[in-house]
Amino acid sequence: MLPQQTVELVRRALLEDIGSGDITTELCIPARLSAVGRMFARQTLTLAGVELIPLIFEELAPGSCDIELKRQSGDCLEPGAEIAVVGGPARVLLTGERTALNFVQRLSGVATLTSAFVAAVKHTRCRILDTRKTTPGLRLLEKMAVAAGGGTNHRMGLHDAILIKNNHIRAAGGVRAALDRTQHAGLPVEIEVRTREELDQALDWGATHLLLDNLSPSQAAQWVQHIAGRAKVEISGGVTLETARAYAETGADFISVGALTHSAPAVDVNFRLELN
């Protein structure tokens, strides 16, 4: 079952596309014409968002379409692999195809990029995390796509974990002052440290999760060695597919990558209509 917020998101997407009606389809396509639509991959990809396809066509025309999902989110597909088959009124298929493709192409793009980062750090102890750098309104779906690609979800928002960044430290009056105010929150606490002095202050305080930002792989390795297992370590800041392995081999526990959601290119997926 998809969360209600996802249902509402799909409804808004359909309304955005259809507006007062699909003029082209209504004028050109006979109302009684039936068809089958086949969605398939046109490139190598990791699939995500396929669960939305039944919801999209059910919202358009309840009970009018027969939908068969051939694959599930997380599957790795090669070009030509069939994703879903939708049978029903040709008008419904034509009206819903772009919304279905938009979601599957976008979310599969996130999953595909995530799977590439996960592959880059394979056989290390390091896990790939997402961030809050998501498309407004699509965070839940994009984080689901990250998970489909083998990544690990970081906090969903500002409400479910404490992440003290450099601006928080500056405004609070220092590392210790910021950490002191989280003692009784009852939530996970992570703090960003940008200097060795801040690092030692956080470790002396007893911080158990540290964020190291914008370090080179060699610098990160030195810091991880200094931490010596006293806290979990997350690395962030400009990590690319080319550098991910070097950062993972520092001994860090996590690498967070904003690009998973803010820069993932959509994949190539096609929806082909066949008349009965």
Among this protein's residues, is 165 annotated catalytic?
yes
Measured CA to CA, the distance from residue 264 to residue 219 in angstroms comes to 28
Catalytic residue among 75, 130, 190, 192: 192
Active site residue 16: no
Which of 71, 132, 133, 232 is an active site residue? 133
Catalytic option among 38, 98, 132, 194: 98
Whether 213 is catalytic: yes
Q: What is the 3-state secondary structure (H, E, C) of the chain?
A: CCCHHHHHHHHHHHHHHHCCCCHHHHHHCCCCCEEEEEEEECCCEECCCCCHHHHHHHHHCCCCCEEEECCCCCCEECCCCEEEEEEEEHHHHHHHHHHHHHHHHHHHHHHHHHHHHHHHCCCCCCEEECCCCCCCCCHHHHHHHHHHCCCECCCCCCCCCEEECHHHHHHHCCHHHHHHCCCCCCCCEEEEECCHHHHHHHHHHCCCEEEEECCCHHHHHHHHHHHCCCCEEEEECCCCCCCHHHHHCCCCCEEECCHHHHCCCCCCEEEEEEEC
Is residue 130 annotated as part of the catalytic site, yes or no? Answer: no
Q: Is 232 a catalytic residue?
A: no
Q: Which of 38, 132, 139, 165 is catalytic?
A: 165
Contact assessment for residue 153 and residue 127, using Cβ atoms and an 8 Å cutoff: no
Q: Are 105 and 266 in contact (CB under 8 A)?
A: yes
Task: Say which of 58, 82, 200, 213 is annotated catalytic.
Answer: 213
Q: How far is CA 56 from the centre of its chain?
A: 20
Catalytic positions:
98, 133, 165, 192, 213
